[in-house]
Amino acid sequence: MNFEQARSNMIEQQVRTWDVLDSRVLDVMRSVPREDFAPARHRKLAFSDLRIPLGHDQVMMKRFEQGRCLQSLALDGGERVLEVGTGSGFLTACLAALGAQVTSLEIIEALAEQAQKSLAAASVEGVEVRHADVLETGFDPGAFDAVVVTASVPAVPERFAEWLKPGGRLFIVRGRSPAMEALLLTRTESGRLSEESLFDTDLPRLIGSEDAPRFEF
């Protein structure tokens, strides 16, 4: 398989067509070898228009979803970013390539270990991967310029917003399957959150944030 041609096709036919037009984001998605972060058995699917299974009921987001996520954060370099859900490590590598200092939490130990290996093999710097549950982890208020959540939630946990600096951005997917919404929440100087809808999607639940039971009468 010609991975370079597949990568070029991915950018032009799958990512750009979903309004990912930021040149820095496109350059990063060209330069970070997505196929090296996909599970070996799915390596040839790295540039297909699919969510790639990672095992443990987790997936790699589609390329356009990752592109829209990166574009929405508008990283200039030097930002401190919290990633909730390391997964394959591909988005982690892209965040680092955009100049962020990334703390990435992964609740599934096997995924955390594999992501660390993939990031090391790709010589990615500026990343710390922790095997941890974000819902049991504490950070200081205003600790991050951006927070990225790669799984869905029924409602946005308050702590994620509290960890943002004024002007900080939170990418998160909210809703119930099959109709979920990717959002960009921005913390204003007054501490309030502004909300922008980005696109419709459907991602696995953030472990520990399952929906409350629904009662039938």
pLDDT band at 212 (very low <50, low <70, confident <90, very high): very low
Give 215's pLDDT tier (boundaries 50, 70, 90). Answer: very low
Average pLDDT, integer, range 167-177: 96
CA distances from 214 to 152, 154, 184 (A): 18, 13, 28
Query: What pLDDT shows up at residue 214?
Result: 41
pLDDT tens-digit map of 60-112 = 999 899 999 999 999 999 999 999 999 999 999 999 999 999 999 999 999 99
Selection from 168, 211, 100, 57 nearest residue 91 by Cα: 100
- Do the beta carbons of residue 101 and residue 81 sit within 8 Å? yes
pLDDT of residue 184: 98
The pair of structure tokens assigned to 166 is 């004024």
207 falls in which pLDDT band (50, 70, 90)?
A: very high
How far apart, in whole angstroms, are the C-alpha atoms of residue 75 and residue 69?
A: 11
Q: What is the pLDDT of residue 1?
A: 60
* Predicted pLDDT of residue 14: 74
Grouping H, G, I as helix, E, B as strand and the rest as coil, residue 158 is: helix
What are the backbone angles phi and psi of residue 3, rounded to the nearest 5°?
-65, -35
Separation in Å, CA 10 to CA 59, 64, 106, 171: 18, 9, 27, 23
CB 76 within 8 A of CB 52: no
Structure pTM? 0.91
Residues 134-167: tens digit of each pLDDT:
999 999 999 999 999 999 999 999 999 999 999 9
Task: Look at phi and psi of residue 27 and say left if phi exceeds 0, alpha if psi is from -120 to 50, else beta.
Answer: alpha
Q: What is the pLDDT of residues 5-17, one digit of tens each?
A: 777 777 777 788 7
User: What homologous superfamily is domain 3-201 in, according to CATH?
Assistant: Vaccinia Virus protein VP39 (3.40.50.150)
Domain ranges of the chain: 3-201
Percent of the chain with pLDDT over 70: 95
3-class SS of residue 216? coil
Nearest to 50 by CA among 37, 41, 62, 39: 62
Question: Directed axis angle between helix 109-121 and helix 90-97, to 10°?
Answer: 50
17-21, 53-57, 213-217, range with greatest mean pLDDT: 53-57
Q: Where are the alpha helices (DSSP H) in the chain?
A: 3-9, 23-31, 63-73, 90-97, 109-121, 158-162
